[in-house]
Structure 1
Amino acid sequence: MTTELRPLRPGDWDEWYGNLELAFGGVAEAPEERALWRELTEPERSLAAWDGNRMVGSAGAFSFRITVPGGALVPAAGVTMVGVLPTHRRRGVLRAMMRRQLAEVRALGEPLAVLTASEPEIYGRFGYGIATHDLFAEIDTDRVRLDTPEGTDAVRLRIARPAESAEALAACEAVYAARVASRPGMLARAPGWERLAPLDPPAERAGASPMQCVLAESDGGEVLGYARYAVRPDWDMAGPRGTVILRDMEALAPDAYAALWRFLFEIDLTSTVKVRSCPVDAPWQHMVSDIRRCRVRVRDALHVRLVEVGAALEARTYAAPVDLVLDVRDAFCPWNEGRWRLTGDAQRATCVRTDDGAPADLRLGVRDLGAAYLGGVTLTALAGAGRVAELRPGALAQASAAFRSDAAPWLPHGF
């Protein structure tokens, strides 16, 4: 490879982002979306690949904090804006950017790197494992009914009008912030990121209405939850068959959650609720009368990479007591190679290198450690795929029980 990697200069952002659009097919993003990404970009954490005086590749990172099992917020590099021009693919440009980026993440002391992939097969070779999944659904609200809990009728619902947008945004962010620690994979939103969820470029509505917001409130006016959604009207010879498109929802209590779902089900002139993303253990699945008519699908979401194995495994807690020696393979980041002694429980954990001669209990690659890290993918399942080797009888069951998370990990939005 003859290309040179350099930090992004702020004055080169337009070319840098334009190359990224070209690498993803050449369709320009809406001006509102492009402007927001420009503001959120961290130039000092962004790389440009140059071939002479031509920029041919890009890779960036956001400074995130992500919830891990146990509720701690752990620094993580949110890898983003990765692209190589078609003229320079398969020349090692991507590999060079990934190698330099991970070295820089390590130098910053961030134990994790995370990303969402355009194609899931790309990043496994760099040590990223699929750690969370998104659930999608298309619910036939003509045929499916909801069984709501006691107290649902007492929840008040209020449409947030455009004039109330600032108030509604602040209320939604307060609910979101209160929910972050409850589920691994959720991101603590730094200032500016609250603008991403309500971003609603007209060019991307595909016939749907502008985004709308409904707030769930207590009798005293406390906001207990929200749903942001759009409606796509449609009609046929039998009458209206519009679609409610749920963009995002959070709630602090089951009755508020149920009230929001019932509201979406009962919007006039619609017969479908389309769920764009929710956790795989989303409670609404246990409220519907017929899950088969909800057309549920699952897709990979957050890919996790342990940049510093010891620090990452110490940052989370474990659902069951664990005391194991892990033989970790990591050819791409060789500082992680070797045997690690992990001890921990639901309160704390330690993970240190060990050379005491004790045999390892499990052997696995860092990619599979990343897949299991947030507790949504079991080590038992990975072992069944031949990706984790049990070296001591009983060690796999102990480790798999320890790594699990009570709440399925979930990434609430892309980056």
Structure 2
Amino acid sequence: MPGATIRTLTTAGELAESDAVFHAAMVGLPAPAADEDVAAVREPGRTFGAYVGDGILVGATDSTSGAMTVPGGARVAHAAVTHVGVLPTHTRRGVLTALMRHQLKDCRGRGETVASLRASEAVIYGRYGYGIASVTHAVSLDLRDAELRATAGSGAPPVRLADPEGSWDLLQRIVDRHQSGRAGTISRGALWWRGLRARTRPAPHYVAVCGEDGFVCYRPLDTAAWFTSRDRTVVVTDLHAGTPDAYRALIAFLLRLDLVHTVRFPWLPADDPLPWMLTDHRAARVTGVGDETWLRLVDVPGALGARTYNQGAAVTVRVDDVLLPENSGNYRIGPDGADRTGGAPDVQVDVADLGAAYLGGARWHQLRDAGRLQELSEGAVDRLDALFSTPRAPFAGVMF
């Protein structure tokens, strides 16, 4: 098949067609609302379509600009990549590769340092330089066994219910006021909030807020059998706490919900304090561990220079980047930062695996022991582990 032609999609009709392609590719997603305005939640100039034959759209992708927090607290320019899909009639013909190449070059041309996505399949995006940079824990909290330790529940500030449809500005204000310093956090811009609002159906959902320091959004499952069920379950769809006090207050609120047996958290950071707040640690049961942030370093020298490093001996790392060869080269990384160097490398790594280690999620020794990098100087990987380690597990906590 001749190569696909990549075009920027601009009209409302083109954007709606790209959304239809995405849903057809994903198979199992809920159908969009009939009156959904796709153009209203797409950033102009960032949706790309792949065309074959006589102008047939067979694949698409888009992204939204924003910022990501990196170790040390700096925020770098970030592209949130989403709506990636190729029609099942045109997979494995180079369409996705053409789209990904075009998008990465566009991100670099815009001066963006990193890109990230949430992967529908784990075998696709490594070939385009994305690495798994953070993981999440799915946690099921059994309220029949869950009791707060006295120290966790004492002095918690009050929590109140808010009108779900009238609280959007408040939620955005809370997030903007309390921006997390955790590596991997991404900004929630106006388009993100607009998209979330469009996706939130009028089914039962609730919002509880702790002053202007935090909030939790939750919804019940299986409402048809709610009053006869012996395992009434609510799912937390969003939880943002700007202070430890607010976090403890919101968890205490969830534990007090009547008519509820189980609270599910689809994603929490690997080092979340929830189990340590309970008298019975096992009441918070990890039901799954999944990949969250797939990170792509678009500008390797910019990314390496933006984060901070711990004390320790410097290491020279050879980075290989096939899709963006201007990133390839040797980088000396030490407590004082990172710079290109002509010196011989101590370690050689692909850009995808550098992305996995960049936020402190994947450890360098894990990559070495898995055969994903070459250690050319003895002890270099241990020195990299010391330089790159972070006090908290990386986590975004936001879907897009």
Q: TM-score, normalised by structure 2?
A: 0.91
Matches within 5 A, 1:160-171: 160-161=162-163, 165-166=165-166, 168-171=167-170
Matches within 5 A, 1:85-100: 85-100=87-102
Percentage of identical aligned residues: 36
Distance 1:40 1:29 in 2: 16
**Structure 1 residue ranges without an equivalent (≥5):** 218-222
> Deviation string for 1:156-182 (max 9, x for gaps)?
1211135xx54x333322332244341
Which residue matches 1:40?
41
Aligned residue pairs, count: 394
Q: Are 2:363 and 1:363 aligned?
A: no
Matches within 5 A, 1:84-123: 84-123=86-125
Distance 1:179 1:329 in 2: 37
Q: Are 2:267 and 1:277 aligned?
A: yes
Distance 1:110 1:53 in 2: 30
**Structure 2 residue ranges without an equivalent (≥5):** none
SS in 2 for 1:295: strand
Q: TM-score, normalised by structure 1?
A: 0.88
1:212 is matched with which residue: 191, 206, 216?
A: 206
User: Taking structure 1 as reference, are residues 252 and 151 closer, same or farther at Cα in structure 2, changes over 3 Å only?
Assistant: farther
User: Taking structure 1 as reference, are residues 216 and 181 closer, same or farther at Cα in structure 2, changes over 3 Å only?
Assistant: closer
> In 1, are the aligned partners of 2:275 and 2:281 still within 8 Å (CA)?
yes
Distance 1:116 1:295 in 2: 24
The residue type paired with residue 413 of structure 1 is V
> Deviation string for 1:315-363 (max 9, x for gaps)?
1111334522111122232222221222334xxx2322x22xx321111
Matches within 5 A, 1:402-413: 402-413=387-398
> Deviation string for 1:171-225 (max 9, x for gaps)?
322332244341111112222323445556437x5xxxx22111123xxxxx222
The residue type paired with residue 169 of structure 2 is A
SS in 2 for 1:31: coil
SS in 2 for 1:105: helix
Matches within 5 A, 1:59-98: 59-98=61-100
1:138 is matched with which residue: 133, 137, 140?
A: 140
> Deviation string for 1:38-87 (max 9, x for gaps)?
32212412211111221111011211211111111100222211111111
SS in 2 for 1:270: coil
Which residue matches 1:305?
296
The residue type paired with residue 335 of structure 1 is E
> In 1, are the aligned partners of 2:139 and 2:268 still within 8 Å (CA)?
no
Matches within 5 A, 1:190-269: 190-197=189-196, 201-202=200-201, 210-217=204-211, 223-232=212-221, 234=225, 241-269=231-259
The residue type paired with residue 113 of structure 2 is P
Which residue matches 2:10?
9
SS in 1 for 2:102: helix
Distance 2:174 2:207 in 1: 14
Distance 1:181 1:272 in 2: 28
Distance 2:47 2:116 in 1: 15
